[in-house]
């Protein structure tokens, strides 16, 4: 492909590399896919915007020791002669068929075109954050956000923490915070006790999950409970929680509030892969093939289901992309069993519609650009809101506010445009679409 010329007559040199299989995302799904594809004889490139493979669940940091499975996968990838790992590398655009333009923080050749025969998207999921009064105060984060902060070394020793929202991640975040010396004052789960009891009763079908649930049990866990308001001036000092029909105030230093996960399907949408209209997950068949030829997807970008399902889907996608359909097909029964678990999680932690009414007219919806709810709630979609109010034009590029708008107002999804991430000028000049 040819690079555009600058006004000075200089055109950046476009480094190109070609692989049989290119994998975007080095979480459990991407790591498993890389091993399966390389083990089947393919040359593989594995890229991730984090400095080390592991995804959301397996993060390094001071005082954090990765589980044996994560260490062994990392070692296998580093030692495999057919796998090239591109860490701290982001996808910027898809300038031509079978080609992604990527940019790296580490490499001397900071931008390059990676060409592939088959592509596997393993872009994972992000937290669903919904606005409530006080949610932008310093001291308030997502539940997974707290996980990431603590694992990266943010000190929480001696702090009083309230964890709220929905889903199994609340318990995992509480366990990590406690391990690092925090006092977890409350875990407020919005799902009602009746649903949680049914879920617990079904866990015998997935013994590893039952064992995990028992290990994470916490006396401060309350069902049918949700955050109402975060209180404070310069910083969070208390949180009001609805619990069994009454509202209680709890003094705290941190509030970690996340309402579950949503698939990261922006790159898939840019490429033209069909998505599930309700969940925005990438639609795949039994061999993890998307609706586009040569493009596969695995892990939580295809639906929220936990790391076990992500690992399994990654293997299936890796085998299938390498042409080993028989090996991929042999994993179908196990995949079905973990899909059943994912369905249990989905129905158990379905959000109470009352959560859509927590924000007030003056509550910021777009916190990057400080746009209040009242300024945008009348718009039919994120695009109109963006054009009229700057909602979604800040650092998160709508990942937080447009996703919240989809839940709160039923906004239709808008397909992202390149550049997918903030990029250097020199990188944009390598995109034939000019980053338009």
Q: What is the CA radius of gyration of the chain?
A: 22
The residue within the footprint of ligand FAD, chosen from 34, 42, 47, 129 (CB under 6 A), is: 47
122 binds ligand FAD (CB under 6 A): yes
Closer CB to ligand FAD, 118 or 123, in the complex:
123
Q: How far apart are CA 419 and CA 397, in angstroms?
A: 11
Of residues 76-95, those binding ligand FAD (CB under 6 A) = 90-91
Residue whose tokens read 């890229």: 47
Closest CB 119 distance from ligand FAD, rounded Å:
12
Query: Of 306, 307, 298, 271, nearest to 36 (Cα)?
Result: 298
Q: Report the relative pairing of strands 99-104 and 111-121 from DSSP bridges.
A: antiparallel
Applying CB under 6 A, does 124 fall inside the site for ligand FAD?
Answer: yes
Residue showing tokens 């940091």: 61
The CB-of-96 to ligand FAD minimum distance in angstroms stands at 17
> Binding ligand FAD by CB under 6 A: which of 123, 166, 242, 290?
123
Among 21, 23, 29, 252, binds ligand FAD (CB under 6 A): 29
Is it true that the peptide bond before 419 is cis, omega within 30 degrees of 0?
A: yes
49 binds ligand FAD, rule: CB under 6 A: yes
Query: Residue 265: how many CA atoms within 13 Å on its side-chain side?
Result: 31
Q: Is residue 344 a contact residue for ligand FAD (CB under 6 A)?
A: no
User: b vs e for 134-148, b when ≥16 Cβ sit within 10 Å of the residue's Cβ?
Assistant: bbebebbbbbbbbbb
Does residue 21 bind ligand FAD (CB under 6 A)?
A: no
- In this structure, what token pair is assigned to residue 262? 């949503």
Assess 126 for contact with ligand FAD (CB under 6 A): yes
Residues with Cβ within 8 Å of residue 153, at least 6 apart in sequence = 61, 62, 63
Which one of 128-136, 144-152, 201-209, 400-408 is the stretch in contact with ligand FAD (CB under 6 A)?
A: 144-152
CB of 126 to ligand FAD, least distance (A): 5
> Per CB under 6 A, does 306 bind ligand FAD?
yes
Let me know: does 21 contact 121? Beta carbons within 8 Å. Answer: no
3-state helix, strand, coil in the chain (%, to 5): 35, 25, 40
What residues between 310 and 339 interact with ligand FAD by CB under 6 A?
Answer: 310
Q: Identify the bridge partners of residue 422 per DSSP, sorted by sequence position.
A: none
**Can you tell me whether residue 381 is helix, strand or coil?**
strand
Judged by CB under 6 A, the residue of 44, 45, 57, 268 near ligand FAD is 57
Task: Report if residue 56 touches ligand FAD, rule: CB under 6 A.
Answer: yes
Residue from 22, 40, 46, 55 touching ligand FAD (CB under 6 A): that is 55
398 binds ligand FAD (CB under 6 A): no
Cβ 371 to ligand FAD, closest distance in Å?
24
> How many whole angstroms separate alpha carbon 44 and alpha carbon 58?
21
Q: Which residues contact 241 (CB under 8 A, 6 or more apart)?
A: 162, 164, 186, 188, 225, 226, 227, 228, 247, 248, 249, 250
For helices 169-179 and 143-151, what crossing angle results, to 10°?
A: 30
Residues between 256 and 275 that touch ligand FAD (CB under 6 A): 261, 264, 267
Instruction: Considering the complex, state which of residue 56 and residue 99 has its C-beta at the smaller distance from ligand FAD.
Output: 56
Residue 172 makes contact with ligand FAD by CB under 6 A: yes
| Sites of contact with ligand FAD (CB under 6 A) | 24-30, 47-50, 55-57, 90-91, 122-127, 144-145, 147-148, 169, 172, 261, 264, 267, 299-300, 306-307, 310, 420
């Amino acid at each position: 492909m040819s690079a555009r010329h600058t006004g000075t007559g200089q055109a950046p040199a476009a480094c190109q590399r070609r692989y049989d299989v290119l994998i975007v995302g080095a979480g459990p799904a991407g790591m498993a896919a890389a091993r399966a594809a390389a083990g089947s004889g393919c040359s593989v490139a594995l890229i991730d915007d984090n400095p080390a493979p592991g995804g959301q669940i397996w993060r390094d940091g001071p005082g954090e020791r990765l589980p044996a499975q994560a260490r062994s996968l990392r070692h296998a990838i580093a030692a495999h002669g057919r796998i090239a790992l591109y860490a701290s590398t982001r996808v910027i655009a898809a300038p031509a068929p079978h080609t992604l333009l990527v940019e790296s923080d580490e490499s001397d050749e900071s931008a390059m075109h990676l060409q592939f025969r088959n592509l596997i998207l393993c872009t994972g999921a992000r937290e669903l954050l919904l606005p409530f009064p006080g949610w932008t105060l310093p001291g308030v984060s997502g539940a997974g956000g707290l996980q990431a902060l603590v694992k990266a070394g943010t000190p929480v020793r001696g702090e009083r923490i309230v964890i709220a929202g929905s889903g199994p991640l609340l318990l995992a975040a509480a366990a990590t915070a406690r391990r690092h010396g925090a006092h977890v004052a409350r875990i407020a789960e919005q799902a009602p006790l009746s649903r949680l009891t049914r879920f617990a009763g079904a866990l015998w079908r997935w013994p590893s999950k039952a064992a995990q649930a028992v290990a994470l049990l916490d006396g401060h866990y309350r069902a049918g409970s949700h955050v109402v308001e975060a209180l404070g001036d310069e910083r969070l000092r208390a949180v009001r929680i609805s619990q069994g029909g009454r509202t209680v105030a709890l003094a705290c230093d941190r509030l970690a509030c996340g309402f579950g996960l949503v698939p990261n399907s922006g790159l898939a949408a840019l490429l033209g892969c069909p998505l599930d209209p309700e969940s925005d997950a990438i639609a795949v068949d039994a061999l993890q093939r998307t609706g586009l030829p040569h493009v596969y997807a695995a892990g939580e970008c295809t639906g929220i289901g936990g790391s076990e399902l992500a690992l399994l889907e990654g293997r299936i996608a890796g085998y299938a992309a390498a042409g080993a359909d028989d090996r991929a097909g042999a994993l179908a029964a196990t995949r079905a069993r973990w899909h059943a678990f994912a369905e249990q999680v989905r129905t158990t932690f379905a959000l109470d519609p009352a959560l859509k009414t927590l924000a007030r007219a003056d509550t910021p919806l777009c916190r990057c650009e400080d746009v209040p709810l009242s300024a945008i709630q009348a718009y039919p979609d994120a695009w109109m809101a963006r054009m009229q109010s700057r909602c979604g034009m800040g650092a998160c590029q709508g990942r937080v506010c447009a996703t919240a708008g989809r839940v709160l107002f039923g906004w239709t999804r808008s397909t992202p445009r390149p550049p997918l991430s903030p990029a250097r000028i020199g990188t944009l000049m390598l995109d034939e679409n000019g980053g338009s």
